[in-house]
């Protein structure tokens, strides 16, 4: 959520930045400023009346103590009249604040100056490409066929017990999952992230805090009886740990990581491109989150990007890094890098990580602040990234490392798997 005062003071710039994100309801900006004016004047009217009421109440107390009942009664009847006015003003104020909030949450975050113009994923900027494309024989199989051939993932069994998009990992397949999770967590720990193991179901307030609610309600699984949501990413519980928190400046940066399963309804996406592990309702992911001083957030975004890249390098996967264009970026992000690995048998790039700087967009909504050295509270910047999401990584490992007789396990995983070959 953007700050009203910022919008007010930088209106032209806000409009220009919003248009980079292909946001077209620019009239919202004026409406917000107008509502904020109304909010201020209504509140100050109410405050004035309340101040009068408070001093009258004090006088009445004074009179009662001195036994001047008649005068007190007279004052009582006077003040009881203005109560209705105060009530009316406060109702107006609440309505104005609600409308202001509803408009404010419709504005996406402002893109950073380096964000390229564009509307579609094709207009994302390829920042770098790294690694070798594997030389596969013409008989190379896509990962879903390899999974069946070596009996490591059973999609049909998942359909039986849950539905499409809920695979069952078997034997060495299951061990590969555990190995990847542990490898990613170990690397995150080496990079200074503190691990958090968090609830997989969250309440409404948390969904609002990170911005999944109300907009993306349809993307989350909802447990109606308890009004809880299954998390679509660890970002939700981990970031909400810091909701309504005032940190000390010396506590920054906060670096957390966490492994969780992630649940996404993915309503409306079916077809060949979501086959196998390409898109699931439940998948595993290690997430990294940082809360940092505003002066450092872009430097830290680069560090996080390098951390993710180091994982891909150790796994020996060919990858590329994209700087997302205005039209392809998420609602809450100011700058996002997507990491894609090459899936050699499918002959396409698969997104395996997304690293973003949200600047103050999340912290404002979360009421996450820090107290600076000069004693002033201000909003820190928040960042997060996948490091990494498992299914497409596994898909690429299976496809890219396939041989006639089986699949080679990347060396960095062997200490975690206990085997180096799947056959």
Partner RNA sequence: GGAGAGAUGUCAGAGUGGUCGAAUGAGCCAGCUUGGAAAGCUGGUGUACUGGCAACGGUACCGAGGGUUCGAAUCCCUCUUUCUCCGCCA
Phi/psi at 108 (5° precision): -75, 170
- The reply to whether 26 sits near RNA by the rule CB under 7 A is no
- The reply to whether 92 sits near RNA by the rule CB under 7 A is no
Geometric angle at alpha carbon 294, from 291 and 295, rounded to 5°: 125
- In whole angstroms, how close is the CB of 229 to RNA at the nearest point? 15
SS3 content of the chain, % helix, strand, coil (to 5): 45, 20, 35
Among 12, 24, 27, 65, binds RNA (CB under 7 A): 65
The beta-strand segments (E) located in 177-242 are 194-195, 201-202, 222-223, 228-230
- In whole angstroms, how close is the CB of 251 to RNA at the nearest point? 13
Q: Is 266 annotated as a binding residue?
A: yes
Residue 62 CB contacts under 8 Å (≥ 6 apart), including other chains:
none
- The reply to whether 55 sits near RNA by the rule CB under 7 A is yes
Residue 94: count of CB within 10 angstroms of its CB: 11
H or E, element range at 392: helix 390-400
- The reply to whether 51 sits near RNA by the rule CB under 7 A is yes
Half-sphere exposure of 385 (CA within 13 A, CB side): 31
Q: What is the DSSP-derived secondary structure letter of residue 402?
A: B
Q: Is 352 annotated as a binding residue?
A: yes
- The reply to whether 53 sits near RNA by the rule CB under 7 A is yes
Residue 266: count of CB within 10 angstroms of its CB: 15
- The reply to whether 377 sits near RNA by the rule CB under 7 A is yes
- The reply to whether 98 sits near RNA by the rule CB under 7 A is no
Among 19, 22, 38, 43, binds RNA (CB under 7 A): 43
Residue 10 CB contacts under 8 Å (≥ 6 apart), including other chains:
none
Geometric angle at alpha carbon 389, from 388 and 394, rounded to 5°: 105
Q: Is 353 annotated as a binding residue?
A: yes
Separation between Cα atoms, residue 7 and residue 14, nearest integer Å: 6
Among 19, 45, 79, 303, binds RNA (CB under 7 A): 79
Among 279, 281, 369, 381, binds RNA (CB under 7 A): 369
Among 76, 275, 314, 320, binds RNA (CB under 7 A): 76
Separation between Cα atoms, residue 383 and residue 127, nearest integer Å: 19
- In whole angstroms, how close is the CB of 161 to RNA at the nearest point? 20
Q: Strand pairing partners for 292?
A: 381
Report yes or no: 266 and 164 within 8 Å, Cβ to Cβ. no
Residue length of the chain: 423
Report yes or no: 154 and 170 within 8 Å, Cβ to Cβ. yes
- Total binding residues toward RNA, as defined by CB under 7 A: 27
Residue 385: count of CB within 10 angstroms of its CB: 26
Nearer to RNA, 16 or 73 (CB): 73
Q: Strand pairing partners for 195?
A: 257
- The reply to whether 58 sits near RNA by the rule CB under 7 A is yes
- The reply to whether 371 sits near RNA by the rule CB under 7 A is yes
Nearer to RNA, 151 or 377 (CB): 377
- In whole angstroms, how close is the CB of 15 to RNA at the nearest point? 21
Among 33, 64, 198, 247, binds RNA (CB under 7 A): 64
- The reply to whether 69 sits near RNA by the rule CB under 7 A is no
- In whole angstroms, how close is the CB of 80 to RNA at the nearest point? 4
**String marking each residue 314-353 x if it binds RNA according to CB under 7 A:** ----------------------------------------
Q: What is the β-pairing status of strands 369-371 and 407-408?
A: unpaired
Stretch near RNA under the rule CB under 7 A, chosen from 52-60, 142-150, 209-217, 386-394: 52-60
Task: Cite the annotated binding site for L-serine by residue number.
Answer: 233, 264, 287, 384
Residues near RNA (CB under 7 A) are 36, 40, 43-44, 46-48, 50-51, 53-58, 60-61, 64-65, 76, 79-80, 83, 246, 369, 371, 377
Task: Cite the annotated binding site by residue number.
Answer: 233, 264-266, 287, 351-354, 384
Task: Cite the annotated binding site for ATP by residue number.
Answer: 264-266, 351-354
């Amino acid at each position: 959520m953007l700050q009203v005062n910022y919008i007010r003071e930088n209106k032209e710039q806000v409009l220009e930045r919003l248009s980079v994100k292909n946001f077209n309801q620019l009239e919202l900006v004026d409406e917000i400023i107008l509502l904020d004016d109304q909010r201020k004047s209504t509140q100050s009217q109410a405050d004035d009346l309340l101040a009068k009421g408070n001093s009258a109440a004090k006088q009445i107390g004074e009179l009662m103590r001195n036994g001047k009942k008649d005068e007190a009664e007279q004052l009582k009847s006077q003040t009881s009249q203005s109560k209705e006015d105060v009530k009316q003003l406060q109702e107006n104020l609440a309505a104005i604040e609600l409308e202001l909030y509803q408009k404010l949450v419709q504005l996406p975050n402002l893109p950073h100056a380096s964000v390229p113009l564009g509307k579609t994923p094709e207009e994302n900027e390829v920042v770098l490409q790294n690694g070798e494309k594997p030389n596969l024989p013409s008989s190379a199989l896509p990962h879903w066929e390899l999974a069946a051939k070596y009996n490591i993932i059973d999609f049909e069994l998942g359909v039986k017990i849950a539905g499409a998009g809920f695979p069952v990992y078997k034997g060495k397949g299951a061990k590969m999952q555990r190995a990847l999770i542990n490898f990613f967590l170990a690397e995150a720990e080496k990079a200074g992230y503190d691990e958090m193991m968090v609830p997989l179901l969250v309440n409404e307030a948390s969904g609002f805090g990170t911005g999944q609610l109300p907009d993306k309600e349809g993307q989350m699984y909802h447990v109606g009886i308890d009004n809880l949501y299954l998390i679509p990413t660890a970002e939700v519980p981990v970031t909400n740990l810091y909701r309504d928190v005032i940190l000390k400046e010396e506590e920054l940066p906060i670096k957390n990581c966490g492994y969780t399963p992630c649940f996404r309804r993915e309503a409306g996406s079916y077809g060949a491109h979501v086959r196998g592990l390409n898109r699931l309702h439940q998948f595993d992911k290690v997430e990294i989150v940082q809360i940092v001083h505003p002066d450092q957030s872009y430097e830290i975004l680069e560090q996080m990007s390098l951390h993710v890249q180091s994982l891909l390098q150790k796994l020996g996967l060919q990858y590329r890094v994209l700087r997302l264009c205005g039209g392809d970026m998420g609602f809450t992000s100011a700058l996002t890098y997507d990491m894609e690995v090459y899936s050699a048998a499918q002959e396409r790039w698969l997104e395996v990580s997304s690293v973003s700087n949200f600047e103050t967009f999340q912290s404002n909504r979360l009421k996450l602040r820090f107290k600076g050295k000069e004693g002033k509270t201000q909003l820190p910047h928040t960042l997060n990234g996948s490091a990494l999401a498992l299914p497409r990584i596994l898909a690429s490992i299976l496809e890219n490392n396939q041989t006639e007789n089986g699949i080679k396990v990347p060396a960095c995983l062997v200490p975690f798997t206990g085997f180096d070959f799947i056959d």
